[in-house]
Amino acid sequence: MTTSINQPWSISDKVRNRFGNLWADLDFVMQSKISEENFKTDPMNVTMGELHIAGQCITMRYKDLIAYSKSVETLCNNIYSNPTGKDEKFEVTVKGRNFLLTKQEVRKLTETLNDALNASMRGYELGLYL
């Protein structure tokens, strides 16, 4: 069973038309089996899952989630602190891949990465990776 953060299949056509397909399909799919042994030996290099963005799948390790959730959140805060146009695009780089995203897409990417990071931490704390 795959664990999806945003569950893009449940987004209505009305919302999809309003925000666009890139926004609607943006998702993080958690790895189906993460062993506790991996966290004991090398926690930062454990593969947590895949980020699905703009038709691409980017494999993310735990340290990638931490780094990119912070950097994208900083970018998002900077975007929302300055007045911008509705259709203005911003360059976001994730693991060497560049994406041009609107501010709503940047916000959703920020929320997705933060939710994936929090779900990973909670899963480990609760012992779900056994």
- What mean pLDDT is predicted for residues 15-31? 92
The overall pTM is greater than 0.85? yes
Whether the per-residue pLDDT at 86 is higher than 90: the answer is no
pLDDT tens-digit map of 43-71: 888 889 999 999 999 999 999 999 999 99
CB 5 within 8 A of CB 123: no
Where residue 39 falls among pLDDT bands split at 50, 70, 90? confident
DSSP-H helix ranges across the chain = 13-19, 21-25, 36-41, 62-81, 103-125
Mean pLDDT of 25-33: 88
